[in-house]
Amino acid sequence: MKPAMRAVGIFLFALVAGCAELRKAPPSPIAQSEPQPSAPQVPEPQASEPQAAEPHVSEPQVLPPPVTTPPAAAAHAKAPPKVSVPSVAVQSQKNEKPVAVTKPLETPLDVAALQARLRDTKAIGVLTKLALKNQVDDLLKKFRAHYQSGQKTGVAALRQPYDMLVLKVLSLLQDTDPSLARTISASREAIWSILADREKFNSLT
């Protein structure tokens, strides 16, 4: 009986120890939530610098990368007393996001490069690329017909098919080539400005 009692005792002890381990888990969510208070620390310098710099709307998006590094360093300095590993992971994610936002803004629209990237991407199959090209050609034909007809009305009617086509491309790319999808999404208005302008359109095609 005694060995059986011992075994039961050991089993119960292991169970209690297991529960004790589970109760230790909550500190990690707290550690994950700790960066959240630090999150307001990041925007504060961002908000202050654009105000100090200029009232432009686009500049706050361009400024973050240089601004985000000092708060990250400051947060690193604050991190050691806390649990360091989760906070570093969250901060690295924060550092990545502003860089991804700034890239499309820094690069001007390069239609040829976009075409090449679309042609080379493996995210879209050959047949799908061909079908997309057919639809792009169809849309360009509509623009050409509109401009050749001599109508003085705008091309607003073609905006919806254009948006639909862009959405189709984005839906094809967003999972497998997100960077290209982001670039196209960021270039949407720039491409439209070319299509909607008769002279730019004629010079391009």
Partner 1 sequence: MIARTLAAALVIPFAALFAEPSPAADDVSLLKDLTSVIALLGLPCGQVVSAKRQADNDHLATCSNGNRYRVFVNAEGRVVAQKR
Binding region for partner 1 (CB under 8 A): 124-128, 130-132, 134-135, 168, 172
Min dist CB 125 to partner 1, Å, is 3
CB-nearer residue toward partner 1: 116 or 131: 131
Cβ-proximal residues to 162 (8 Å cutoff; 6+ apart), any chain = 139, 192, 195
Shortest distance, position 131 Cβ to partner 1, whole Å: 4
Residue with smaller CB distance to partner 1, 115 or 134: 134
**Residue with Cβ nearer partner 1 (65 or 178):** 178
Q: How far is the CB of 127 from partner 1 (least distance, A)?
A: 5
Nearer to partner 1, 12 or 130 (CB): 130
Closest distance to partner 1 from the beta carbon of 81 (Å)? 50
Find the shortest distance in angstroms from Cβ 124 to partner 1.
Answer: 7
Structure token digits, residue 203: 């010079």
Which CB, 102 or 174, lies closer to partner 1?
Answer: 174
